[in-house]
Chains A and B, each alone.
Chain A
Amino acid sequence: MYSNMVTLQTLDTIFYEAQRQGRISFYVTSIGEEAINIASAAALTSDDIVFPQYREPGVLLWRGFTLQEFANQCFGNKADYGKGRQMPIHYGSNKLNYFTVASTIATQIPHAVGAAYSLKMDKKDACAVTYFGDGGTSEGDFHAAMNFAAVTESPVIFICRNNGWAISTPTSDQFRSDGIAVRGQAYGVRSIRVDGNDALAMYSAVHSARHMAVNEHRPILIEAVTYRVGHHSTSDDSTKYRPANEIEWWRMARDPVTRFRKWIEINGWWGSEAESQLRSSIRSQLLHAIQIAERAEKPPVNDLFTDVYDNIPSNLREQEKLLKETINRHPKDYPADVPI
C-alpha cells in the first residue's frame, strides 16, 4: 500500500511538471488524497466496479494500470485506450473495471447505482463504488442517486472526498449541513465519516462498508475528510483564494504519505534507504515512460469517426471522406506526424 501511495505522489509531481513544461496539455493532481485513493482501492476486490470523478487515479494504479499506460493516456497517443479522444487524466479501463472518467460532475453517481442494480440482479459477489468531491454533493444527481440506491437496495459504496474545496469554493459556501455524512441519514443510507488522511482508517472503513453493501444489499456512504493540497488542476492557481501557509501546513504536517511512512517505519518494516531507493526507481520509470509516450505515434484520423456508433454509418463515412480529401488537397496545413 505504501509504495503505491509513493508512486501516486511521484506520478502526480512529475506529470504536473511535464504539463508546466508544455509536454502535456493538462493535468489534475491528487496530492493530499493518496490515502483515500490507495487505501480504498486496497479494501475492494478487482470485481468491484469503480465509477470515478477524476481525482482517483490511485485506484487504477492499485489495480495494475502501468505507468506507461498512464503516460499514454496523458499524451493521447496510439496506445491510449481512449484513442486520444479525451483530455489527460480521463483514464478508463474495462479490464480493470474502472469506468472512463467524464468531465461532468456527479453524473457517475447514478451510473454506479445502475451498475450496482445490475450486479444485484446477476447475484454477483461484488459492489459498485463511486467517488466524488464535496462539490459534487450539491448536484441533483447525487441526491437522486442516493435516494435510488436506498430504495432499490443496491450494493453501492458512495465515497465522498471532502477535501474542503470545489475549485475556489470552500465547503462553507458549498453547504451548511454538518458535512456529507449527515445527508446519507436523510436518505436512509448508513454513513461513515472517516479521517481521509489516515490510510489504515480509510482501509477499514471501506472494508466494512463493502462487507455491508455486498452481504446486506444496501448502499453505504463514506465521507473521507481530507484536504486538497494541489491546485484544482493545472489551469488553477489556488493561492489566489487560499493562504499559501495553509496549503503548506497540510502538505507538510498532515501529509498522508508521511504519516503512513512513520507508522511502517516504527514497526520496522521500512527505512530511509528503502525510501530513497523506491523514490528514485519510480522517478526514473516515470521519466522513461513519458519519453516513450511522447515519441509514440498519435492515433490516426480514422479514429475521429469510429466508435460513435457500433458500425460507422453512411453520413459519418461521407464526412470522413470529405476530411481526407481536404487533407490531401492541403497537406501543408496538417501536422505531418498524425497518420491518416
Chain B
Amino acid sequence: MAAIFQGVGAAAALSSLPSNSFDSKNILFSPRRSFSVRKAPSFVVVRSDGTMNLDLNPKGRRAQQFIANAVATKEDSSAASSSSKPGHELLLFEALREGLEEEMERDPRVCVMGEDVGHYGGSYKVTKGLATKFGDLRVLDTPIAENSFTGMGIGAAMTGLRPVVEGMNMGFLLLAFNQISNNCGMLHYTSGGQFTIPIVIRGPGGVGRQLGAEHSQRLESYFQSVPGIQMVACSTPYNAKGLMKAALRSENPVILFEHVLLYNLKERIPDEDYICNLEEAEMVRPGEHVTILTYSRMRYHVMQAAKTLVNKGYDPEVIDIRSLKPFDLYTIGNSVKKTHRVLIVEECMRTGGIGASLTAAITENFHDYLDAPIICLSSQDVPTPYAGRLEEWTVVQPAQIVTAVEQLCQ
C-alpha cells in the first residue's frame, strides 16, 4: 500500500526521519511532530517496504510562476480588497487560517473536524497551528469516513456547536452527499425551524496540476440543487478570509469552495476585522463593452485575457460572482443592463454546471437587455485526464476567452 501525501510542508519534515526504519503509523497517527512550512506543493510517496521518495513535482514550479502572473494582473486591476490602512501581506491559505483562527477566538463554539486537520495542520496547511493553540477537542482529526464526520458535524451543529468540516478534497465530499442533501439542507425545514445547522463545509476543489480525474471534481455543480444550503467560492486572500468569517457567523449551512491552485496567492489584506457578504458578487474590473462572469480560478484566466482584450481595444467588465447559491442577480443585472453582452467563464462541466444555471437565470430575468446570446465557456463533459497537455485543454484558457469576447462584440 503506497500512500501519496500532497501537502505543503510534508516534504521537509519527512526528510528528517531515518530513511530505513519508517513506520507508516508515524505519518498518520503521531501528531506531535511539527512540520516546517514550504511554499512549493510537493509529493511524498511512502512505499510499503518503508523507504521514501521525495518527488518534487517539476510542474509545481510552473504552477507557481503562473500564479505569480495572476497576482500581478490582479494588482493592476481595480482592487476591491485593499483599505486605506497599511495591512499585512499573506498567502490565501494563511488568510483562510487567519479568518478561522479569529472566529475560533471570538466564539468558543467554533470547532474544526476533518482528516489530518489536527497536528498535521491540514493537507493544505489551512489549520496549521490551530490544534496546538485550541486543543485536540476543537480541532478534531477524524477517521476516513466523510459521510460520517459530515453527519457528526451536522449533529454537533444541531446541538449548539459551530463546526467547520474540511473535505481534504472537495471530491471526497461526494461520499458525504447523503448527509449534505438529506440532512444538512433539510433538517431546519422539516423540523419546522426547531433545529438550526450552522455548519461550514469547506475544502479545495477544481482542476489542479495532474491530480487525476477523481481529485479534480467541481462539486458546485452537484450541490447547487440542494435546497437549504448556501454556496460561496473564494478567489483572493481578501475574500477568502472575509467569506470564511461570514460563513462561520451565518446560521445557515454554507459550503465554501476553495481551489487547489489558488492557495499560494499573495495579497495585502487589512488588519482590521472584516467580513465579505455571502450573497454579494465582486466587481473586479468595471467596463462598458461586455460582462464577463466568473469565479474561483477562472477569474485569473479572465484577467489575463482582459489584458489582451484591453490592448485590442475592448473594455470588459469582470465580475467574480463569488456567491454560487444564490446568485447575486442585483450586481449581475446592473452589469447586463449596462453592457448588454454576457460571457460566462467557469471551470464546471458544460452540462449542469454553475454556468448552465447562471445562463438560465440571466435569460429569464434580463432577456430584454441582451443584444446577443449568452456565451458560456466551460470545461468539456469529460473526466479530467491525467496527461498534462490534455488536462490543460479541459480548462478554459485565456485565448478562448479573448476569442469569445471578440465573437460577442461583433
Picked from B149, B191, B192, the residue with its CB within 8 Å of the CB of A110 is B149
Which chain A residue shows the least CB distance to B229? A309
Specify which chain A residues have a CB less than 8 angstroms from the CB of B279 in the assembled complex.
Answer: 313
B182 touches A115 (CB 8 A): no
A267 at the interface (CB under 8 A from B): no
A94 touches B143 (CB 8 A): no
B155 at the interface (CB under 8 A from A): yes
Alpha-carbon separation in the docked complex, A120 to B134 (Å):
15
Specify which chain A residues have a CB less than 8 angstroms from the CB of B160 in the assembled complex.
Answer: 118, 122
User: Which of B193-201, B203-211, B288-296 sits within the interface?
Assistant: B193-201
0 or 1 for each of A105-141: is its CB under 8 Å from B? (1 = yes): 0011111111101111110000010000000000011
27 A-B interface contacts by CB (under 8 A) = A81-B192, A81-B194, A85-B190, A94-B194, A94-B195, A100-B192, A102-B182, A104-B182, A107-B182, A110-B147, A110-B152, A112-B155, A114-B152, A114-B155, A114-B156, A114-B163, A115-B155, A117-B152, A128-B155, A140-B148, A141-B148, A145-B151, A148-B143, A308-B228, A309-B188, A309-B230, A315-B326
A161 at the interface (CB under 8 A from B): no
Distance between B239 CB and nearest chain A CB, rounded to angstroms: 20
A264 at the interface (CB under 8 A from B): no
B251 at the interface (CB under 8 A from A): yes
Picked from A86, A99, A104, A314, the residue with its CB within 8 Å of the CB of B178 is A104
Picked from B143, B194, B227, the residue with its CB within 8 Å of the CB of A308 is B227
Number of B interface residues in the complex (CB < 8 A): 47
Residues of B32-49 contacting chain A, CB below 8 A: none
Alpha-carbon separation in the docked complex, A6 to B286 (Å):
72
* Interfacial residues, chain B to chain A (CB-CB below 8 A): 111, 137-138, 140, 142-143, 145, 147-161, 163, 178-179, 182-183, 186-196, 227-228, 230, 250-252, 279, 326, 329
0 or 1 for each of A303-320: is its CB under 8 Å from B? (1 = yes): 000111110011100000
Which chain B residue shows the least CB distance to A130? B155
Specify which chain B residues have a CB less than 8 angstroms from the CB of A82 in the assembled complex.
Answer: 190-192, 194
A109 touches B230 (CB 8 A): no
Number of A interface residues in the complex (CB < 8 A): 49
* Interfacial residues, chain A to chain B (CB-CB below 8 A): 49, 51, 80-83, 85-86, 90, 92-94, 99-100, 102, 104, 107-115, 117-122, 128, 140-141, 143-145, 147-148, 151-152, 306-310, 313-315
- Give the one of A51, A83, A110, A313 with max B CB within 10 A: A110
A310 touches B196 (CB 8 A): yes
Specify which chain A residues have a CB less than 8 angstroms from the CB of B152 in the assembled complex.
Answer: 110-111, 113-114, 117, 145, 148
Alpha-carbon separation in the docked complex, A109 to B154 (Å):
11
Given contacts A110-B151, A110-B179, A111-B154, contact A99 B195 (CB under 8 A): yes
Which chain A residue shows the least CB distance to B186? A102
B143 touches A81 (CB 8 A): no
Distance between A110 CB and nearest chain B CB, rounded to angstroms: 3
Specify which chain A residues have a CB less than 8 angstroms from the CB of B192 in the assembled complex.
Answer: 80-83, 85, 92, 100, 307
Which chain A residue shows the least CB distance to B188? A307
Alpha-carbon separation in the docked complex, A115 to B158 (Å):
8
A92 touches B195 (CB 8 A): yes
Specify which chain B residues have a CB less than 8 angstroms from the CB of A121 in the assembled complex.
Answer: 111, 137-138, 161
Which chain B residue shows the least CB distance to A154? B152
B191 touches A94 (CB 8 A): yes
B190 touches A313 (CB 8 A): no
Q: Closest 9 CB pairs between A and B?
A: A110-B151, A114-B155, A111-B155, A144-B145, A144-B148, A114-B152, A114-B156, A100-B191, A83-B192
Distance between A94 CB and nearest chain B CB, rounded to angstroms: 4
Alpha-carbon separation in the docked complex, A119 to B196 (Å):
17
A140 touches B145 (CB 8 A): yes
- Give the one of A114, A120, A128, A145 with max B CB within 10 A: A114
Specify which chain A residues have a CB less than 8 angstroms from the CB of B159 in the assembled complex.
Answer: 49, 114-115, 118-119
- Give the one of B161, B251, B279 with max A CB within 10 A: B161
A148 touches B149 (CB 8 A): yes
A115 touches B156 (CB 8 A): yes
Distance between A312 CB and nearest chain B CB, rounded to angstroms: 11
B189 touches A85 (CB 8 A): yes
A107 touches B191 (CB 8 A): no
A93 touches B194 (CB 8 A): yes
Alpha-carbon separation in the docked complex, A94 to B326 (Å):
29
A308 touches B189 (CB 8 A): yes
Alpha-carbon separation in the docked complex, A104 to B148 (Å):
14
Distance between B369 CB and nearest chain A CB, rounded to angstroms: 18
Which chain A residue shows the least CB distance to B252? A309
Specify which chain A residues have a CB less than 8 angstroms from the CB of B252 in the assembled complex.
Answer: 309-310
Given contacts A83-B193, A113-B155, A306-B193, contact A118 B161 (CB under 8 A): yes
B155 touches A51 (CB 8 A): yes
Specify which chain B residues have a CB less than 8 angstroms from the CB of A140 in the assembled complex.
Answer: 145, 147-148
A313 touches B151 (CB 8 A): no
Apart from A114-B154, A115-B159, what 8 extra A-B contacts exist at CB < 8 Å? A99-B191, A102-B182, A102-B183, A107-B183, A111-B151, A111-B154, A113-B151, A309-B230
Distance between A114 CB and nearest chain B CB, rounded to angstroms: 3
A110 touches B148 (CB 8 A): yes
Distance between B361 CB and nearest chain A CB, rounded to angstroms: 9
Distance between B196 CB and nearest chain A CB, rounded to angstroms: 7
Distance between B143 CB and nearest chain A CB, rounded to angstroms: 6
